[in-house]
């Protein structure tokens, strides 16, 4: 049988599940941009793209050259197609306005252009995370600048989300709200080919991912839960757990989608004014959408992440996501 490419899959979704054609075109453009980013990532030092830019993003984090390059690739690929009313990125202070010479579309695209970029110089898997929202009608004027308020929608309003992971293989993992599927980039064809259908997160797990160096700053419910994990089969949970921590959310979540686990980035006491480290719009919402569509769960320790009403483009949040049994356990400790 001939391979099912991303384009063919999306066309079939348009026919069978009434996926709008403009959403199909948007996903294809994002996928092409991810292929271009993969090409730059894989060139590494040969392309002169490693190292720091010497600048900081809006969160005060040092930008890598590939952060900026990946951001530019996504902006340039998506600004002219007529599918978007605007874009927002972890690497930009404000919402990106579609240039006036191009038509506006019905959707909003938010993205982390290169998640895990602190690992890029040591050749660890990194990725691109994206989320698609409908633009509210009142913000669709061709002439007016797009208001940031248009983006501040809870994660339940996402119409699509996904990530590309740049590792030994380049993969695109996607949800349109009817399950999770995975495509692998076939470089000979130049296309993403369907390789993983109906991805499901196992309900139980014996793996967890957390940055243990922050343990002294955690809240008591997180300390209690991790202590129980570490006591193994002699403790209250009655089984041994392994810890995995890649420090690239894309890579950690990809592992969980592949074989289960729980990923945790809790709030801590170092910056009490900030409820967490990860960005709600660019990281937590799209990954939570994927995890839930794959049968897992995702909370901030107190409530479902997809129910959180955003208050700002760069809002931070604590994250507990993965196998449902463990997410529910640690969320229960918070409550």
Model confidence pLDDT, tens digit, residues 81-97: 999 999 999 999 999 99
Mean of pLDDT over the chain? 93
Amino acid 281: pLDDT: 97
pLDDT category at 146 given cuts 50, 70, 90 is confident
Q: Give me the mean pLDDT over the 180-187 stretch.
A: 97
Amino acid 71: pLDDT: 96
pTM of the model: 0.95
Amino acid 57: pLDDT: 66
Could you give the residue ranges of the DSSP H alpha helices within the chain? 6-16, 21-43, 65-78, 220-230, 249-259, 285-293, 324-334
Q: Give me the mean pLDDT over the 109-118 stretch.
A: 93
pLDDT per residue as tens digits for the range 261-314 = 999 999 988 887 788 899 999 999 999 999 999 999 999 999 999 999 999 999
Residue with the bigger pLDDT between 55 and 333: it is: 333
Q: DSSP characters for 47-111?
A: GT--SEEEEE-TTSPEEEHHHHHHHHHHHHHHSSSS-EEEEEETT-SSPEEPPTTS---SEEEEE
Tell me what percent of the residues of the chain surpass a pLDDT of 70: 96
Kindly tell me if the per-residue pLDDT of 142 is higher than 60: no
Superfamily of domain 6-196: Fructose-1,6-Bisphosphatase, subunit A, domain 1 (3.30.540.10)
pLDDT per residue as tens digits for the range 184-232 = 999 998 999 999 999 999 988 999 999 999 999 999 999 999 999 999 9
Amino acid 273: pLDDT: 78
Cβ 194 vs Cβ 316: under 8 Å: no
In the CATH hierarchy, which top-level class contains the domain 207-334? alpha beta
Amino acid 117: pLDDT: 85
Domain boundaries, the chain: 6-196, 207-334
Q: Give me the mean pLDDT over the 87-113 stretch.
A: 94
pLDDT category at 56 given cuts 50, 70, 90 is low
């Amino acid at each position: 049988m001939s391979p099912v490419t991303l384009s063919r899959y999306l066309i079939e979704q348009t026919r069978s599940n009434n996926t709008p054609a403009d959403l199909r075109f948007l996903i294809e453009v994002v996928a092409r941009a991810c292929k271009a980013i993969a090409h730059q990532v894989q060139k590494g030092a040969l392309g002169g793209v490693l190292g720091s830019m010497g600048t900081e993003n809006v969160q005060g984090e040092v930008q890598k050259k590939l952060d900026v390059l990946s951001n530019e690739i996504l902006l340039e690929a998506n600004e002219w197609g007529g599918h978007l009313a605007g874009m927002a990125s972890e690497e930009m202070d404000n919402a990106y306005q579609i240039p006036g010479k191009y038509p506006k579309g019905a959707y909003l695209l938010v993205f982390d252009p290169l998640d895990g970029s602190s690992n890029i110089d040591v050749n660890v898997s990194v990725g691109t995370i994206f989320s698609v929202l409908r633009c509210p009608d009142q913000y669709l004027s061709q002439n007016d600048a797009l208001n940031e308020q248009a983006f501040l929608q809870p994660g339940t309003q996402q119409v699509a989300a996904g990530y590309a992971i740049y590792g030994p293989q380049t993969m695109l993992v996607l949800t349109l709200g009817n399950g999770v599927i995975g495509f692998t980039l076939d470089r000979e064809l130049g296309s993403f080919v369907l390789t993983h259908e109906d991805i499901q997160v196992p309900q139980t797990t014996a793996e967890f991912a957390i940055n243990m160096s922050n343990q002294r700053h955690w809240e008591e419910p997180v300390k209690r839960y991790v202590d129980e994990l570490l006591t193994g089969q002699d403790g209250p949970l009655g089984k041994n757990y392994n810890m995995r921590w890649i420090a690239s959310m894309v890579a950690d979540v990809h592992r969980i989608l592949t074989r289960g686990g729980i990923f945790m980035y809790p709030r801590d006491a170092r910056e009490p004014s900030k409820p967490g480290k990860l960005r709600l719009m660019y990281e937590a919402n799209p990954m939570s959408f994927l995890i839930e569509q794959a049968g897992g769960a995702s909370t901030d320790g107190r409530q479902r992440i997809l129910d959180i009403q955003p208050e700002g483009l760069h809002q931070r949040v604590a994250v507990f996501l993965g196998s449902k049994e463990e997410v529910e356990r640690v969320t229960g400790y918070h409550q």
